[in-house]
Amino acid sequence: MAPGVQVVVLRDGPLPNDSRIFSLNENDEWQDAPLTVTGLGSVEADMGSEETLAHFASWAIDTYAADYRALFMLGPANGVVGFGEDRHGAHAQPDLLTPADLRTALERVAAQNTRKLDLLYLDGGPFGLLEDAAIVEGMVNFVVAAPNTRFALYDYARYRHLASQSTAPGAYALALAQTDATRHHARGLPYALAVWDMAYFEPLRLAVDELGKALQAYVQTGPEQRAQLERIRRQIQHYDGGGQTVNAPDPEDPYVDLVHLATTLTMTHTNAGVAESAQQVIGSMADFVVEHYVENGQFQSGGQMQCVDLTHAHGVGIYYPPSARAESGTANARYLNHELFHISPGWGWTDFIFMDNGSGLPFPGEPSPMADDFLLMPVLVNGAADSTVHIFLPLAQR
């Protein structure tokens, strides 16, 4: 039993018309109901629609009174691509929640309620960029996120009991991340997990804005400076984004650790403007990241052993692609055209990574951006649940 905790789940499996609503009360009593009880008017949920997420979350909040509210999202993810997907329904291609869709859904939930969600738990990765934090700015108090690939170690019964034992949302967020880290460690699996305090998002966003402006000015001083920054980009901590080695970071991945980047810039001969801006980023990160949990490890994937080095991971990534070329249909193009994140227009970081307006001016040997941007499934381990099941799970604690 979990005194004071109620759970309601929207589950959508891989088959047509298998969407269901499940609820679990504090006495461990389950109830099963069709999707129509939420008022969506369908027997099949489109998990790639912002309408589904917004309607379900608002319905759950209205139906289940609570002092604290958490939203758990489980499914495939990729930081600048989106979260979850629906492979059946009215869409010719798999539908997914883009970053812009997620923000639209959460804005609708916020507009219908008088306060923010206390916690957002993202059980999918990589989905731990500063840009991903921007999605929930002003609508969520704490976030538990994974900037690198996640493993399918679903432990929601334990998460529920942790909620009954926690005294505040921040403490609950820490307990969730600590539990996940312990379970990964016990299996020898690599992990990078973080708890973010969204009250400190804006100072960090502004610090990165200034860093982007300083880097743009520095690069414009000559080709040697441009080449120097590309060497730095390749050498710092990366997070998996579907580059050359799926499920393991490599230099062709478009996500880098923000603190490791800033720290490297402070120790590299650039100029005073870059060094000062980088130091400001480091200071702002100390407030934003409540705690992060990191460990190297290895696992079997595709018949090969993958060794994952996360030594310099600090809990927040940022989009820093190996190419600035914005070819049609790529994440680069969508980012540059401000289709993904509301913070990108006029942001110094956007202006830096796309300072040639997407034309490229590539470095020698620079790879083309990935032709197809895709979501990364949670990596299955022995005894894990089927990762084709996608869940929206608000948890309410009285």
Question: For 180-232, what is each residue's pLDDT tens digit?
Answer: 999 999 988 999 999 999 999 999 999 999 999 999 999 999 899 989 999 99
Q: What number is the average pLDDT over the span 281-289?
A: 98
Q: What number is the average pLDDT over the span 256-271?
A: 94
Q: Does residue 364 surpass a pLDDT of 50? A: no
Distance of CA 213 to the CA centre of its chain: 25
Residues 6+ apart with CB under 8 A from 120: 70, 71, 73, 136, 140, 142, 143, 144
Distance of CA 116 to the CA centre of its chain: 19
Q: Does residue 391 surpass a pLDDT of 70? A: no
Q: Does residue 317 surpass a pLDDT of 80? A: yes
% the chain with pLDDT above 70 = 86
pLDDT confidence bin for 360, thresholds 50/70/90 = very low
Which residue did the predictor score with more confidence, 157 or 88? 157
Residues 6+ apart with CB under 8 A from 333: 326, 327, 358
> For residues 121 and 175, is the Cβ–Cβ distance under 8 A?
no
Q: How many CB atoms lie within 10 A of CB 267?
A: 9
pLDDT confidence bin for 307, thresholds 50/70/90 = confident
Name the residue among 174, 322, 149 with its Cα closest to residue 248: 149
pLDDT confidence bin for 373, thresholds 50/70/90 = low
CA geometry: angle at 391 spanning 121 and 292, to 5°? 20
Burial group, residue 230, by CB count within 10 angstroms (0-12, 13-18, 19+): middle
Which residue did the predictor score with more confidence, 45 or 291? 291
* Average confidence score pLDDT of the chain: 85
pLDDT at site 383? 41
Question: For 97-125, what is each residue's pLDDT tens digit?
Answer: 999 999 999 999 999 888 899 999 999 88
- Burial string for 335-352 (b: 16+ CB within 10 Å, else e) reads bbeeebbbbbeebbbbbb
pLDDT confidence bin for 396, thresholds 50/70/90 = low
In the chain, the N- to C-terminal Cα span, in Å, equals 14
Q: Does residue 165 surpass a pLDDT of 70? A: yes
pLDDT at site 15? 76
Sign of CA pseudo-dihedral 151, 152, 153, 158: positive
Q: What number is the average pLDDT over the span 263-277?
A: 93
**Window from 155-164, 207-216, 380-389 with minimum mean pLDDT:** 380-389
CA geometry: angle at 102 spanning 261 and 33, to 5°? 135
pLDDT confidence bin for 168, thresholds 50/70/90 = very high
> For residues 304 and 245, is the Cβ–Cβ distance under 8 A?
no
% the chain with pLDDT above 90 = 51
**Window from 24-28, 75-79, 91-95, 253-257 with minimum mean pLDDT:** 91-95
Q: How far apart are CA 22 and CA 13, in angstroms?
A: 13
**Window from 44-53, 171-180, 229-238, 372-381 with minimum mean pLDDT:** 372-381
- Tokens found for residue 71: 């939203």
